[in-house]
Amino acid sequence: MRLVVLDGYTLNPSDNPWTDLARLGDLTVYDRTRPDQVAARAAGAEIALTNKTKLDAAMIDALPALRFVGVLATGYDVVDVVAARAHGIAVSNVPEYGTADVAQHTISLLLELCARTGDHARAVAAGDWSRAPDFCFWLSAPVALDGLTLGLVGYGRIARRVAAIARALGMRILASTPNRQGDPDGWRDIPALFAESDVVSLHCPLTASNARFVNAELLARMKPSAFLINTARGGLIDEPALAAALRAGQLAGAGLDVLSREQPPADHPLIGAPNCLITPHIAWASLPARKRLMATTVQNVAAFLAGKPVNVVNP
């Protein structure tokens, strides 16, 4: 059985070996694969593993030997799952490996927006405190989260972990999701959630129906003091609209770990936008999380080889 990993570097930059996966078949690992290299590298492979390398309908058509795709992530929008199903190809993801890590990063973006810790530390290093006339100074007054409302779009594992941390900080929790399971302080539809929340955090998958749903109209509903956080998928946001809203002061700031194009071009509208923190899609990347991702990937492949695939997203 031939296995190919199309873009393995971020999962294993040298600290998370492929040893257990290699025991399951004839394994070839590529650190990175350009779109024009996919067909040649995956040719003849029954199993392909990918993180961000796309397998669209045309590519799936071009790989007749392919029987299983393992996504090295929770989100699986890089694979055309409908086309895969039509070809009898099972697609599995890793549904839970970085819940605590992504929740932590979500809160870290929010706290940085509220306290501007990094900006203040750099100002001290530049001598601003030494020159200040008072015993303290601030670039902007810290924002207290106690008593504010956090609105969560999606209420799965990560959102519920974020809610638990936010409650410990004294926040009230609202949520919007098609399946109302869980215990937020209230359920809201999307427009009401954006209007009522002091912080909106996105925790939903990217689909054809919700692409760029955070648009100019929805952003205009937000309080001028509110923050938007996105650790889900960049494509959920109309990024030029968010940049315009930040420039116009329609909201107080945004914290993003994902963009619609990764890596972003140098002229991306949100790079350099006022009060916009962007981290380079690292919420998932702690070594313990990557080890869990590797272990579940091995389990997914082994289950497929045993004829009992698990974590299948296109049954």
Report yes or no: 55 and 85 within 8 Å, Cβ to Cβ.
Answer: no
Residue 268 one-letter amino acid:
H
Q: What would the two tokens of residue 61 be?
A: 């058509």
Model confidence at 70, pLDDT cuts 50, 70, 90, reads very high
Whether 2 is catalytic is no
Tell me which of 120, 233, 239, 290 is the catalytic residue.
Answer: 233
Note the pLDDT tens digit of each residue in 95-149. 989 999 999 999 999 999 999 999 999 999 999 999 999 999 999 999 999 999 9
Is domain 99-278 given the CATH code 3.40.50.720 in the classification? Answer: yes
277 alpha carbon, distance to own chain's centre: 15
pLDDT score at 275: 97
Domain 2-97+286-305 and domain 99-278, same fold? Reply is yes
pLDDT score at 281: 97
Distances from the Cα of 20 to the Cα of 14, 119, 125, 203, 267, angstroms: 15, 44, 47, 31, 42
Using CA atoms of 111, 200, 161, 16 in order, give the dihedral in degrees to the nearest 10: -70
Whether 203 is catalytic is no
Extents of the domains making up the chain: 2-97+286-305, 99-278
pLDDT score at 265: 95
Q: 227 has which bridge partners? A: 199, 253
Tell me which of 262, 268, 290, 292 is the catalytic residue.
Answer: 262
Whether 262 is catalytic is yes
* Percent of the chain whose pLDDT exceeds 70: 100
Note the pLDDT tens digit of each residue in 181-222. 899 999 999 999 999 999 999 999 999 899 999 999 999 999
Tell me which of 87, 157, 281, 292 is the catalytic residue.
Answer: 281
CATH placement of domain 2-97+286-305: 3.40.50.720
Note the pLDDT tens digit of each residue in 19-35. 999 999 999 999 999 99
Model confidence at 52, pLDDT cuts 50, 70, 90, reads very high
